[in-house]
Structures are given as C-alpha cells and as structure tokens.
Amino acid sequence: MSAAKAGGAVRATVHGEGVDPALCQAIVERARLLGVMGWVRCDDDGMIRLHAEGDPAAIVEVLAPLEGDGREIEPERAKVEGHEQFAVRGVNAGVFVVQEHRATAHHFDLRLEVDGVMRSWAVPKGPSLDPAVKRMAIEVEDHSLEHNDFEGRHGDGGVIVWDRGTYEQGGRVPWPEAIERGHAVFVLHGEKLRGGFALQRTRGRGGGKPQWLLIKRRDDKARPGSDVAAEQPQSVLSGRTLDDIVGSA
Ligand code: MN
C-alpha cells in the first residue's frame, strides 16, 4: 500500500510576519525527503498555501517549520487526491503560444514549451474559456522555440500569433510524464487565455495521430458562454487578422 493510501491529507494556509521564500524551500525539501506528496504555493502576498498527503507523522514533520515566529497556520483535513510528486505551484515552466493557421484546414496550434521544444496540438475550433466546451486537439509534431514568433504568409495560407505568454505546470503527475500518460493540467498566463486548462487524451497512439480534448478548468478566469477564438481574432503581435494577411477566401 502506498503512503498516500495509508495516510491522510492536509490543506493549510500560512501567513504572518515570518513568511519568506526560504521557508517555502524548506517545506519542499522536507516533503521530498519524507516522501510526502502534494504541492506548495508561495505567493507574493506573503501567503503560503499547501496540500500534503501521505503518512500522518511525516505530514506533521513537513508542517513543523511553519509553527511559531509570528506565523499563523490554519491546517484542515482534506481529501487524498493521489499526487505522485511534491510540486511547487505558481512557478513559470516556460512559454506557450497559440498560432492561428490557415492551411488545407483552418486551425489553431497550441504549443507548450517542454524540455526545450514546443509540444504542439492542432485545435480545429481553437481554445475556449468556457469550461462546458471540449475542443478536439490533435497532437502534432514538436516545433522549435524559434517558430513561436512566426507570423505571415505560409504556402497558400498564413499564420498569426493569436496568443502567447508563459505557463505553469500542474496536476498530480510530474511533467513530461503527465503528457505521456495522457492527462496534462496547466495554467496559462496569456493575453487572451488565462487560468487553468486540461489536455485529456481520448485516443492513443495505436493508429493515426493521438487525439485529445482541450478543456478550460473552472476557475475565476473561466468565461461560460464565450467563444474567445471568434470574439478576438486579432494577432497579439500586430493586431492583424488572418484575413488581413492572406485575404478573405
Ligand atoms: Mn498548423
């Protein structure tokens, strides 16, 4: 039986005078040493939030440095979620870009920087900020980071940089294993796309290209009923639309 199954889970927020980055680092080191799973998030507002699961005695040890020194800690029991890592949340994992691409078929290419390349998915209808909308995403070949700024005519069609920014990796499984296992959770900090998203593989590598669903997670950046791809067609680089570049068909 794994430690997580044998134990419980605790959610805690910590605030007060003595909250600093060294404390956050100490929690990460203790958790990893003690085999406690979950995550910690150290925000600029001087707040530490954490989720710890596993052996109850080990969780107590992870939380120990948080006591005292003018700090207030509010732990409460939480549900065991099955984390397979102790992650630091809220850290930049790299860049992302969404390029709108008119080729044989019109689509949007979502690209996330992972281990020095841009992992890529072609999303025919584009991303959505509506959590009720599941957009098909076809895994395509990796691209280089140099391609991220490309905008202009391309063959008979064209490309614009529809959105870009940085992203955070999330979920219960470390990246890039999360992608290989077919469930990747991430947070986008773009100009149009913000907040949590999930890519869920629906059809594996057996025959043809792997198919996924791109889904907005429910958070304060969700916009139910909206269709951002249709509502905001301009390039974030130049303000141009694909029609401006290739002419309306
Ligand atoms: Mn493409």
- CB count within 10 Å of CB 97 equals 24
The amino acid occupying position 223 is R
Question: Do 232 and 143 contact (CB within 8 A), yes or no?
Answer: no
Q: Cα of 206 to ligand 1 centre, how many Å? A: 22
**Adjacent-strand bridge partners of 86:** 38
pTM of the model: 0.91
Helix residue ranges, H only, 41-110: 56-63
Q: 85 CA to middle of ligand 1, Å?
A: 33
What's the confidence (pLDDT) of residue 72? Answer: 87
What is the tens place of the pLDDT at every residue in 105-144?
Answer: 999 999 999 999 999 999 999 999 999 999 999 999 999 9
Determine the 3-state secondary structure of 165 from DSSP: strand
DSSP annotation of 64? G
AA identity, residue 191: E
Tens digits of per-residue pLDDT, 193-208? Answer: 999 999 999 987 677 7
What is the DSSP code (8-state) at residue 175?
T
Residues, CB-to-ion distance under 5 Å, ligand 1? 101, 109
3-state secondary structure 96-127: EEEEEEECCCEEEEEEEEECCEEEEEEECCCC
Distance CA 7, CA 29 (A): 20
Predicted pLDDT of residue 2: 44
Tell me how far the alpha carbon of residue 108 lies from the centroid of ligand 1, in angstroms: 7
pLDDT beyond 70 at 58: yes
